[in-house]
Amino acid sequence: SQQGEEDPQALSIQEGENATMNCSYKTSINNLQWYRQNSGRGLVHLILIRSNEREKHSGRLRVTLDTSKKSSSLLITASRAADTASYFCATDALNTGGFKTIFGAGTRLFVKA
Amino acid sequence: NAGVTQTPKFQVLKTGQSMTLQCAQDMNHEYMSWYRQDPGMGLRLIHYSVGAGITDQGEVPNGYNVSRSTTEDFPLRLLSAAPSQTSVYFCASSFTGAGGWEQYFGPGTRLTVT
């Protein structure tokens, strides 16, 4: 079974609105990462948050991590049509040495112009 | 830098055939991995390598072999293709253990087994 699960599975918003995606995981982790995948392409790394961090920003992205609830959220502010993509969280469990990153099923975001 | 390259981009196999998916990176990364992505699902780890001569199994290793003779290359071999192996395959690399570093992904190989 997969470590990370994203919610919602799909999200449709208007350009300029904010998009929030959530990720829950099952076991204690070292780090959590978010990736973006445009249709038919490989994944692109967005941001990494370590287990001792609670919040991280990168441009229009804000990621939070709550290790007590085993959950993370990705907020994209002022969304653009170019943000249309699938977004995945990825975790590595504490006992895997960082070598076995597990991906969730992803959230498909559609931003309408 | 070319980053992570994969060949071929598309491949159709008949059940029982074997083939090798190629992956190469020019970033001198120690860690390389292979994933498969099925419709509506995230990526599942097949095999990974932490350096030349060192490989290990991921979540779904059955039916696949890997080897790592050089830092740059990490081929994935399908021994006897089955329709259940129809998927998109991604190769990725990173400096060290993938959990602590961002992974760089190739463009993928779309494989169909009939």
pLDDT digit string (tens) for chain B, length 114 residues: 789 999 999 999 999 999 999 999 999 999 999 999 998 778 999 999 999 999 999 999 999 999 999 999 999 999 999 999 999 999 999 987 555 678 999 999 999 999
Shortest CA distance from A51: residue in chain B: B100
Which tens digits make up the pLDDT trace of A63-86? 999 999 999 999 999 999 999 999
Mean pLDDT along residues A86-111: 86
- Through-space distance between the first and last CA atoms of chain B, rounded to whole angstroms: 36
Across the interface, whether the CB atoms of B42 and A88 are under 8 A apart is answered yes
Which H, E and C letters describe chain A, residue by residue? CCCCEEECCEEEEECCCCEEEEEECCCCEEEEEEEEECCCCCEEEEEEEECCCCEEEECCEEEEEECCCCEEEEEECCCCHHHCEEEEEEEEEHHHCCCCEEECCCEEEEEEC
Which tens digits make up the pLDDT trace of A20-47? 999 999 888 888 999 999 998 999 999 9
Average pLDDT value for chain A: 91
Tally C-beta pairs within 8 A across A and B. 77
What confidence score (pLDDT) does residue B42 get?
84
- Through-space distance between the first and last CA atoms of chain A, rounded to whole angstroms: 36
Cα A76 to Cα A61: distance, rounded to the nearest angstrom: 5
Across the interface, whether the CB atoms of A99 and B48 are under 8 A apart is answered yes
Across the interface, whether the CB atoms of A88 and B96 are under 8 A apart is answered no
Interface of B with A in 20-39 (CB under 8 A): 31, 33, 35
pLDDT band, residue A1 (cuts 50/70/90) = very low
**What's the gap in Å between the CA of B40 and the closest CA on chain A?**
7
Output the CA angle A87-B11-B86, nearest 5 degrees. Answer: 55
Is residue A106 pLDDT above 50, yes or no?
Answer: yes
What confidence score (pLDDT) does residue A25 get?
92
Establish if A31 touches chain B: CB-CB under 8 angstroms.
yes
Across the interface, whether the CB atoms of A106 and B4 are under 8 A apart is answered no
What confidence score (pLDDT) does residue A70 get?
95
Residue from B23, B29, B43, B47 whose CB has the most chain A CBs within 10 Å, to mutate: B43
* % residues pLDDT > 90 (chain A): 71
* % residues pLDDT > 70 (chain B): 96
> Residue B58 is encoded by which pair of tokens?
């991921």
Residue by residue, DSSP assigns chain B as ---EEEE-SEEEE-TT--EEEEEEESS--SEEEEEEE-TT--EEEEEEEEETTEEEE-S--TTEEE--SSSSB--EEESS--GGG-EEEEEEEESS-GGGS--EE---EEEEE-
Establish if A105 touches chain B: CB-CB under 8 angstroms.
yes
Across the interface, whether the CB atoms of A43 and B59 are under 8 A apart is answered no
Task: Among A40, A45, A97, select the one facing B102 at the smallest CB separation.
Answer: A45
* % residues pLDDT > 70 (chain A): 92
What confidence score (pLDDT) does residue A6 get?
86
